């Protein structure tokens, strides 16, 4: 076999150089100027346990789907009750539970194992460990790792709604805010101190991570079980966030929700309320909130309701031990320094 000469080697190299020069001389295509075909809004919803996040999200996601949007609802509460209203009370297999069973069987988790749909709404539950058997926040992190393996970032939804506990400060529950995993946060509250305390905590977390370079903002407050006393509206005004909807304290709503009925249907009496909420959620920009101080939060309520007029009286040794304190001379030797 004849060994290649220097001339034979140089020919392909010259061809490659010409090809690269020709490619470099071509003008790049013009940037796209048309409308964006689909951009997923990932929205994390926070609130005190039992305040009505799951109720709000089930009806909101249902209304969005009826409006032609592709919606994914993800429950991030260890109770795994976010999707129960959507599925008529039926429990949804959780990602953590399913992942454990599949791993023991040597199998891979598939989308159909953990994601289910009803009337255009796609939904799943991350789940969490049993009581005393693990960290709920770590369960959240594991759940999102599984979602990424399933192709979460390629699914092309219009909206992804994440249901998070707001009164748990464990790091895993702050994941969307800390890691910019969502564009905006919505808080659900009512006209009571505890739910607004949680809402204020969430605003504080958002502001904290914004100072560290984060980009997540608060889109607004949903007032659930609104009795018209006005504390939640006052909180929103002080915190600089809009009220996206006020869902009244209504017996029909309470009864239907208890029976796992969706009221956020276009044809229902409450359809217009949830249609407006869906539009407000879509349009509300993420803003930097102004968290209130503890005194500022208490100031939203009447003094007799929150004990604002109580004076703190320090306890004494006599109070604690039931006897007078005997002052004994110290046996400590103190040396003068030279």
Q: Spell out the per-residue pLDDT of the chain, length 338, in tens.
A: 555 555 555 666 777 677 656 655 555 444 434 443 448 899 999 998 889 999 999 999 999 999 999 999 998 877 778 889 999 888 888 888 898 898 899 998 899 999 999 999 999 998 866 666 666 666 677 788 888 888 888 888 999 999 987 766 566 677 788 888 899 999 999 999 999 999 999 999 999 999 999 899 999 999 999 999 999 999 999 999 999 999 999 999 999 999 999 999 999 999 999 999 999 999 999 999 999 998 899 888 876 655 566 787 898 888 888 777 777 777 777 677 65
Active-site annotation holder among 69, 70, 79, 102:
79
Give catalytic status of residue 53 as yes or no. Answer: yes
Active-site annotation holder among 167, 225, 226, 256:
167
Helix (H, G, I), strand (E, B) or coil at 276: helix
For residue 111, which of 100, 101, 99 has the smallest C-alpha distance?
99
User: From CA 161, how far away is CA 144, in angstroms rounded?
Assistant: 14
Cβ burial of 279 (10 Å; 0-12, 13-18, 19+) is middle
- Do the Cβ atoms of 286 and 226 come closer than 8 Å? no
Predicted local distance difference test score (pLDDT) of residue 78: 74
Give catalytic status of residue 163 as yes or no. Answer: no
Give catalytic status of residue 225 as yes or no. Answer: no
Torsion-angle region of 155 (φ positive above 0: left; ψ -120 to 50: alpha; else: beta)? alpha
Predicted local distance difference test score (pLDDT) of residue 2: 56
Active-site annotation holder among 53, 184, 225, 256:
53
Which pTM value belongs to this model?
0.78
Domain ranges for the chain, please list them.
43-298
Domain 43-298: CATH superfamily is P-loop containing nucleotide triphosphate hydrolases (3.40.50.300)
For residue 202, which of 47, 40, 28, 3 has the smallest C-alpha distance?
47
Predicted local distance difference test score (pLDDT) of residue 31: 40
Active-site annotation holder among 48, 184, 225, 256:
48
Count the Cβ atoms, other than its own, within 10 Å of residue 189.
30
Predicted local distance difference test score (pLDDT) of residue 38: 47
Within the chain, strands assigned E span: 41-47, 71-75, 116-118, 121-125, 159-165, 184-189, 217-226, 243-248
Give catalytic status of residue 79 as yes or no. Answer: yes
Predicted local distance difference test score (pLDDT) of residue 20: 59
User: From CA 17, how far away is CA 13, in angstroms rounded?
Assistant: 6
- Do the Cβ atoms of 91 and 84 come closer than 8 Å? yes
């Amino acid at each position: 076999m004849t060994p290649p000469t220097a001339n034979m080697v140089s020919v392909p190299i010259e061809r490659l150089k010409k090809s690269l020069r020709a490619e470099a001389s071509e003008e790049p295509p013009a940037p796209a100027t048309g409308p964006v075909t689909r951009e997923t809004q990932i929205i994390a919803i926070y609130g005190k346990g039992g305040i009505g996040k799951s109720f709000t999200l089930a009806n909101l996601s249902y209304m969005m789907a009826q409006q032609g949007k592709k919606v994914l609802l993800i429950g991030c509460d260890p109770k795994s009750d976010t999707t129960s209203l959507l599925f008529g009370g039926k429990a949804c297999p959780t990602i953590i539970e399913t992942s454990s069973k599949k791993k023991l069987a040597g199998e891979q988790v598939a989308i159909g194992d953990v994601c289910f749909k009803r009337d255009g709404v796609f939904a799943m539950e991350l789940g969490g460990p049993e009581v005393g058997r693990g960290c709920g926040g770590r369960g959240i992190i594991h759940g999102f790792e599984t979602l990424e393996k399933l192709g979460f970032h390629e699914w092309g939804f219009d909206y992804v709604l994440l249901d998070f506990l707001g009164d748990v400060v464990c790091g895993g529950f702050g994941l969307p805010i800390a890691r910019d995993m969502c564009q905006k946060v919505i808080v659900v509250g009512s006209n009571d101190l505890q739910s607004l305390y949680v809402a204020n905590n969430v605003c504080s977390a958002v502001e904290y991570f914004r100072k560290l370079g984060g980009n997540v903002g608060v889109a607004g407050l949903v007032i659930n079980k609104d009795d018209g006393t006005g504390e939640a509206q006052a909180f929103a005004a002080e915190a600089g966030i809009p009220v996206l909807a006020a869902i009244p304290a209504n017996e029909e709503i309470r009864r239907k929700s208890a029976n796992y009925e969706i009221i956020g249907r276009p044809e229902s009496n409450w359809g217009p309320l949830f249609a407006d909420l869906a539009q407000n959620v879509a349009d509300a920009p993420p803003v930097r909130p102004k968290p209130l101080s503890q005194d500022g939060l208490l100031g939203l309520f009447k003094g007799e309701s929150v004990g604002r007029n109580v004076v703190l009286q320090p306890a004494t040794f006599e109070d604690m031990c039931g006897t007078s304190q005997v002052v004994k001379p110290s046996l400590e030797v103190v040396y003068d320094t030279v």
